[in-house]
Amino acid sequence: MDVRNCEDFVQLEVGNIVYISGTIVTARDKAHMRVVKLIKDGRIEDVPEEMFLHPVYHCGPLLKNGKIVSAGPTTSARMDPYAPVLLRESSCPVIIGKGGMGRKVVDLLKGRGCYLSFPGGAGALAAESIKRIKKVYWQDLGMAEAVYVLEVEKFGPCIVSIDSRGNSIYPI
Amino acid sequence: MVSRREFVDTLIELLRKAETELGEDVLELIRDAEKREEGTAKLILQSILKNVELAKENSIPMCQDTGIPIIFLDVGRDAELKFDIYEASREAVSRATKLIPLRPNAVHPLTRENSGDNTGLNVPIVHCRIVEGDEVTIAVMPKGAGSENVSKQMMLLPGDSERVVDFIVDVVREAGGKPCPPVFVGVGIGGTFDESTILAKRALLRDVRKMNRFEKEILNRINMLGIGPMGLGGKTTALSVLVEIAHCHTASLPLAVNVQCWANRRAFAVL
């Protein structure tokens, strides 16, 4: 199934297999920590707005000459302490990652969004469907930790593993 | 005599090979698992196999987590190495980072400052042994964090020897989908605190198809967990279990479980 719009993610159920086209935004440990700090300091306007408008992809890509060559998901559980802050502010609470997430995230996705698993380690495959880097934020965090706004075409397979009804394939 | 240049060039080539191609033994077990599985588990294994093909074809790292470089050297006692192998290893890793390329992963553990070229304090990690003969055997293993983070070392009680398998299975159960299953499980039993962990890591260098009865028994127990590829359910949670054993103190029972993702990346050469 192909998914293009943010509202489509709410309809998905665990076990659905989807291919995403449109914009996704990478963020991993350091970017999440920075978002939490900025919001805590009352500086939400300094957070790249794309992070609140598109699915967030837990990924630290590998680049060669400014082009992404390998970009599989990283372990989402590490983002459990920070993701809720981001999800509360997001108008598109959708996460792509691997390994699943905890109770707080499952609850915050209820009625609003979902969590999708991309096959871990399949970095070359993921890079195939990344058409271009639209924008890069926070490059000071390093190659893996910066925030990349990506245009993707048929990005998948993504397996819906936490849905908007509170179901999770992973034990929580 | 092995020249410094030959040594550095070989290391760079081995890193490239390990990052972009899987060994035939590893591939064979993934292909077998793909045939056994159905539904989502099958789709994931197919995606993994397609990914491996793409990486090899285009000579790009199969996973964006190109790991922390670990180098194993078995230096023959009659081999001649007239250079600093640690310094040469650093140069190889630094150059490989730009050439292949590798993602800069090495950071200071406390400041989290990235060195930018995958070298740093005691990195690359070099394990060196003196062996018989005049050859230098090299193995490189870039190790990703997803699987390393769920690995465990335990100092069990001597009376726990019959429950060792339970402890190993528990590590894989707790890891769930985090280490990119189906995993390879390197196990070190005995030795000391430190020796058990290096045994577990070295076990992952073996031909993963060759398991003894004990190892197969642990593998069957793990695969009854149903965690499956990426933790989304299935028959294949682990592809192979590899155990190394050392005698230990009568008062202790060290156990180390080194989890490795489906991409058991390593490459070998003899100089």
Domains of chain A with bracketed CATH: 2-141+150-162 (3.20.130.10)
Q: Please give the residue of chain A at the shortest CA–CA distance from B144.
A: A121
Tokens linked to B184: 């390879």
| Over residues B122-142, mean pLDDT | 98
Is B245 part of any domain? yes
Residues B84 and B177 in one domain: no
- pLDDT tens string, chain A, 172 residues long: the values are 999 989 999 999 999 999 999 999 999 999 999 999 999 999 999 999 999 999 999 999 999 999 999 999 999 999 999 999 999 999 999 999 999 999 999 999 999 999 999 999 999 999 999 999 999 999 999 999 999 999 999 999 999 999 999 999 998 8
What's the pLDDT score for residue B209? 98
Q: Is B155 on the interface with A (CB under 8 A)?
A: no
Residues of A labelled catalytic: 32
Domain stop point among B120, B143, B166: B143
Q: What are phi and psi of A9, to 5 degrees?
A: -65, -30
Is B194 part of any domain? yes
What's the pLDDT score for residue A23? 97
Residues B176 and B246 in one domain: yes
Query: pLDDT digits over B170-197, tens only?
Result: 999 999 999 999 999 999 999 999 999 9
Number of domains chain B contains: 2
Cα distance between residue A127 and residue A102, in whole Å: 27
Residues of chain A with Cβ-Cβ distance to B231 below 8 Å are 99-100, 117, 169-170
Tokens linked to B2: 């092995």
| pLDDT classification of B258: cutoffs 50, 70, 90 | very high
Residues B134 and B206 in one domain: no
Residues B189 and B133 in one domain: no
Task: Judge if ipTM > 0.95.
Answer: no
Percent of chain B predicted with pLDDT > 90: 100
- What per-residue string of b and e applies to A59-84 under the rule 16 or more CB within 10 Å gives b? bbbbbeeeebbbbbbbbbbbbeebbb
Is B138 part of any domain? yes
Are the beta carbons of A121 and B48 separated by less than 8 Å? yes
Residues of chain B with Cβ-Cβ distance to A58 below 8 Å are none
Domain stop point among B88, B109, B143: B143
Strands (E), B30-151: 68-76, 125-131, 136-143
Domain stop point among B143, B159, B188: B143
Residues of chain A with Cβ-Cβ distance to B232 below 8 Å are 117, 159, 161, 169-170
Residues B78 and B97 in one domain: yes
Residues B114 and B139 in one domain: yes
Is B41 part of any domain? no
Residues B13 and B112 in one domain: yes
Residues B102 and B159 in one domain: no
Are the beta carbons of A70 and B146 separated by less than 8 Å? no
Residue B102 near residue B19, CB atoms below 8 Å: yes
Are the beta carbons of B261 and A64 separated by less than 8 Å? no
Query: pLDDT digits over B214-254, tens only?
Result: 999 999 999 999 999 999 999 999 999 999 999 999 999 99
Residues B155 and B115 in one domain: no
Is B226 part of any domain? yes
Residue B72: pLDDT over 90: yes
Is B269 part of any domain? no
Q: Please give the residue of chain A at the shortest CA–CA distance from B175.
A: A99
What's the pLDDT score for residue A172? 82
Give the gap in angstroms from C-alpha A47 to the nearest C-alpha of chain B.
22
Domain interval for residue B167: 146-264
Residues B185 and B119 in one domain: no
Is B104 part of any domain? yes
What's the pLDDT score for residue A21? 97
According to DSSP, residue B160 is labeled G
Residues B235 and B250 in one domain: yes
Residues B104 and B165 in one domain: no
Q: Please give the residue of chain A at the shortest CA–CA distance from B229.
A: A119
CATH number of the domain where residue B228 is located: 3.30.1330
Is B13 part of any domain? yes
SS3 B199: helix
